[in-house]
A and B are shown apart, each in its own frame.
Chain A
């Protein structure tokens, strides 16, 4: 099963690269493409964690997710014109 999962993870990473290029073309911002790439890398990391993961793959998935959060936070901070009229701030809807 691990072989299939590894293959699926590599495939998702490759798809993510293409999708990131498409997203960049769509939004004409690096932020959009990077966000999509990080989403796909997260999906690949999660698939790697299924089955019987090694400590290496656990650490890799944790690193990708931490990087994703870090970059996501920095992109969120650098997002232009975040606050809109009427005090519409991002909803912090914790679950």
Chain B
């Protein structure tokens, strides 16, 4: 009952952010966190895991009206813990086991007793992503053109 009420709550920025990180967590990251979980709850499938398509949209001119750019593969899963929490996992790609694990951690993030485990997983994922993005940004920055002006004429 409690879990059901939570499902109907208004947009939750923390959960949105967590789900975004879970979508980018690798299978190894998710699996390691699951394996080290002290007291694993029972997990019941509600939907999936399944693979399908999402039509990715762009905007005309970059910021105008939307148009359909093309599809991407997406895997998703919905699970229910024996304690009642419902979790959703969804991510690009065809890895259904990753989607199932992401759904489990989304559900665990709603359990008071597991908040720390989830937070530590999310921290690891966020740090890895930040590091990768940082490295890419630095590599790109090294290819920035420094213009200099050639002086012409007498002066």
Q: Do A and B come together as binding partners?
A: no
- Residues on A close to B: CB < 8 A? none
